[in-house]
Amino acid sequence: MNETVTAEGRLDVGGVFSRTGDIYKQAFGTVWVIALILFIPVVILNYLSGDGGWFLGLIAGIVQLVASVWFAGTMVKVVEDVEADGVVDASVGDLLGLVWPRLVSLILLGIVVGILVAVGFVLLIIPGIILTLLWIVSTPAMMVEEKGVFDSMSRSSELTKDNRWRVLGVGILLLIAYFVIFVVISLLAAISPVLGIIGGIILVIAAYPYLAIIVSVLYFNLVEVKGGRVVTGGGPTAGIEQPGQVEQVEVVEEVDQGPGGPEDRQ
């Protein structure tokens, strides 16, 4: 049994963070390069958009959205790879390429979830928290199970059922972490724009991968709580085996080509 699942079949929040730390250390080189590729342009554009008017600010926002969802999808594949056979088999290019075909869907998912959660927070905050808990693992569900936008949201709701108080603990820690990162980057930028860029890059490389990996680890272990498991075999072709799933074996009938066989009878 996975260390992030208790003997009673419940999610172990402490185990999620422990497993996240293990994967983060193991795949640090890979995620470091991916973070540099995707987020350095974002940090620079955000800096330039400060005095560049609304148009540059719009471009910076779009680039940040694309980079964020691409990065989140890539981290799902990193965790999937490690969970399958204990090592990162895929290259940086492979990992980025695996997300590319689903990038538009991931962006749409991020927009839909973001708008609905924002509306929920406007409506007395509590609905926003509930919706966040329901859809917290919708991105991994989309990447691993190749579901559409609303099917991924439904799958996330299904997986988090019966463990939402434990998921809430993970979610609160994530929100605190994101808030601290935002405040630190803002303070550094207020002291010096260059310091803001350097500090932003360092924090993005160090913190964002860890936070994205937490969500992916949470997904895989909620799957295990429900009786599924990661398909072994390693590499980017790993996936999820659902409870009760039966491997289909194709039976091929051997045709007798000898005397008296079907060909001779024609």
Range of the domain at 193: 13-265
Averaged pLDDT, groups of 10, the chain, 266 residues long: 54 87 90 90 78 78 92 94 83 93 95 93 83 92 93 94 84 80 80 78 80 92 79 50 48 44 47
Residue 7 in any domain: the answer is no
> What is residue 120's three-state secondary structure?
helix
Residue 176 corresponds to which amino acid? Answer: I
pLDDT of residue 50: 67
Helix %, strand %, coil % of the chain (to 5): 75, 0, 25
CA–CA gap between residue 95 and residue 235 (Å, rounded): 10
Residue 237 in any domain: the answer is yes
Interstrand relation of 229-230 and 240-241 (parallel, antiparallel or unpaired)? antiparallel
pLDDT of residue 10: 76
Residue 4 in any domain: the answer is no
Residue 8 in any domain: the answer is no
pLDDT of residue 54: 76
Residue 122 in any domain: the answer is yes
- Residue 110's φ and ψ, nearest 5 degrees, are -60, -40
pLDDT of residue 45: 83
Q: What is the per-residue DSSP string for 155-215? A: HHHHHHTT-HHHHHHHHHHHHHHHHHHHHHHHHHHHH-HHHHHHHHHHHHHHHHHHHHHHH
What is the count of structural domains for the chain?
Answer: 1
pLDDT of residue 224: 87
**Two tokens, residue 31:** 């995620």
Residue 5 in any domain: the answer is no
Cα dihedral 18, 23, 29, 33 in deg (nearest 10):
-100
CB 240 within 8 A of CB 24: no
CA–CA gap between residue 141 and residue 145 (Å, rounded): 6
